[in-house]
Amino acid sequence: MASVALMDIFSLACVFGEKWILFYQELYPCYSKTTDYNLMMLDMIRLHIRSFTRRCSTWLSLSIAIIRALVIRYPMSVRFEMLSRPRTIIYVIGGVLCVVIPNSIGDFLSLDVSTYDKNFDCKNHLSIRFYTVDLSKLFQKSRLFRPIVKIAEALISKMIPCVLFPIATIVLIKEIRKANIRRNTLASNSASSSQTNTSYLVLAQTVTFFIAEFPLGIVFLLQYTVYCALLGAFERFFTSVLTITTATHMFICFFMSSQYRLAVRLFLRGGYPLKYNFDSKDVSRNKSLKQHNVQSIEK
């Protein structure tokens, strides 16, 4: 969950980065070509980081849902019980990177900073000035590379998670309900509440994912198989929706997951652990209990 929190923080920071660039252009209408080139480079890096973190967040959230579903579905299995151990995160992150990095390489090769207007006049106050972030020359010359990258992104980053997310969610909610029924007479209310929060969290992730990612996956697949003038408009619309759902995803997880909140707090504190304030009454009560135990052992 900490990894998902970090990815969401970086993704949300990229949204603010875009607004910062626009704010800088409005604040300083006239600046040099070198400054404009550096701003466009920052914008291109921002786009790469945003795409990378979104994919990582999607697959990490999906991995959490699948692991929890398997652990609850097979509680007596030693093989699946090992998935709940902390070291599993190393293999999960490694697997996610293997899935995400090829797509990110395609993204990296697809964009470049190109000249837009050598004789730009700063009095025009346009957002696009000397340079702009555009398709790279490699993708402009070849008609094959861009469709491959888009279709791969549609399948790996959107369609496959759209199939696996509902399956994992349905299995997880079903098994949590069964576990709650079995533990009704044995488990505490806090344990039952924790399981319920888990099911709600995964369900919320599934819903927010389907709102934008699934339609975008369909648009990416149709762009290079069926021609339609509306596909470009749909892509821009659902890309904007995706930005909104990505931002809300962080707040949903923050309010529904205690592990997520702890990860965000540790990140904001620079990795320093939180200090807990113990009540003096609790401390004195613990001391009296220890003294009572020592006296009973001596007797």
Return the percentage of the chain with pLDDT > 70, whole number: 62
Domain hosting 184: range is 2-266
pLDDT of residue 200: 62
- Residue 70 belongs to some domain of the structure: yes
pLDDT of residue 250: 64
* CATH code for position 114: 1.20.1070.10
pLDDT of residue 290: 47
Q: Where are the alpha helices (DSSP H) in the chain?
A: 2-27, 33-73, 78-81, 88-110, 137-141, 145-153, 160-183, 189-223, 230-256, 258-268, 280-298
- Residue 54 belongs to some domain of the structure: yes
| pLDDT at residue 153 greater than cutoff 60 | yes
- Residue 278 belongs to some domain of the structure: no
- Residue 206 belongs to some domain of the structure: yes
For 140, residues 6+ apart whose C-beta sits below 8 A from its C-beta are none
Return the percentage of the chain with pLDDT > 90, whole number: 0
- Residue 296 belongs to some domain of the structure: no
Radius of gyration of the chain (CA): 25
Number of domains forming the structure of the chain: 1
- Residue 285 belongs to some domain of the structure: no
The whole-number average pLDDT for the span 233-245 is: 71
Q: Are 86 and 92 in contact (CB under 8 A)?
A: no
Does residue 53 or residue 271 have the better pLDDT? 53
- Residue 282 belongs to some domain of the structure: no
In tens, the pLDDT along 20-40 reads 888 888 888 778 888 888 888
Provide the token pair at 59. 């697959």
pLDDT of residue 246: 65
Provide the token pair at 157. 């980053």
- Residue 286 belongs to some domain of the structure: no
